[in-house]
Amino acid sequence: MLNYRTIIRILGVILVTEGVFMWLAIPVSLIFGENDKLQFLLSGAITISAGMLAYLPVRRTNLQVNRRDGYVIVTGAWILFSLFGTLPFLLTRSIPNFTDAFFETISGFTTTGASILNNIEELSHAVLFWRSLIQWLGGMGIILLTLLLLPFLGIGGM
């Protein structure tokens, strides 16, 4: 049986974390004198707000995660990270339509390396930073997922 309250709590925390990561692009925009500070501030605020709306009602839930919960959390995290990760691209208008922004974000979080962008060097430094950051976060996510799954699979002597 799935523990929905635990799943929602963890996904809420994950969204808040993503929103904070979005705000890391603001100093980059300030340093280079670019005009997309507000868009990153708004992207982070929307993402953090969504995470808090999910987290606050279930914050006192006991964190007992079973294997099924883990699968739902990982799947939900990839989907939510990708959906909310489109906001900086959309709000800065560096990628004006949702489908392309979603593709670019999924490509980053899955560390695929594919891109719909032809002239990457024309993007602002803050957007380039966000694009690089989602690829780095995706790489860390794959490593973490692997480390968490190896013991369940009985691989690697763990």
In tens, the pLDDT along 102-133 reads 999 999 998 888 999 988 889 999 999 999 99
Residues constituting the chain: 158
Hey, CA dihedral for 23, 105, 135, 127, is it positive or negative?
A: negative
Most confident among 6-10, 43-47, 57-61 (mean pLDDT): 43-47
Look up the domain containing 33 and give its range: 4-153
Compute the Cα dihedral for 58, 62, 63, 66 and give only its sign. negative
Residue 119 domain-assigned (yes or no): yes
Residue 157 has pLDDT above 70, yes or no: no
pLDDT at residue 150 tops 80:
no
Structurally, how many domains does the chain consist of? 1
Residue 106 falls inside a structural domain:
yes
97 Cβ contact partners less than 8 Å away, ≥ 6 residues apart = none
- Quick check: is 158 in a domain? no
Q: Contact, 131 vs 22, CB < 8 A? A: no
pTM of the model: 0.88
130 Cβ partners below 8 Å, 6+ apart?
22, 25, 40, 88, 89
What pLDDT was estimated at residue 155? 63
Residue 21 lies in a domain: yes
Say if residue 149's pLDDT is above 90: no
Q: Residue 62: left (phi > 0), alpha (psi -120 to 50), or beta?
A: beta
Asked if residues 81 and 18 have their Cβ atoms less than 8 Å apart, the reply is yes
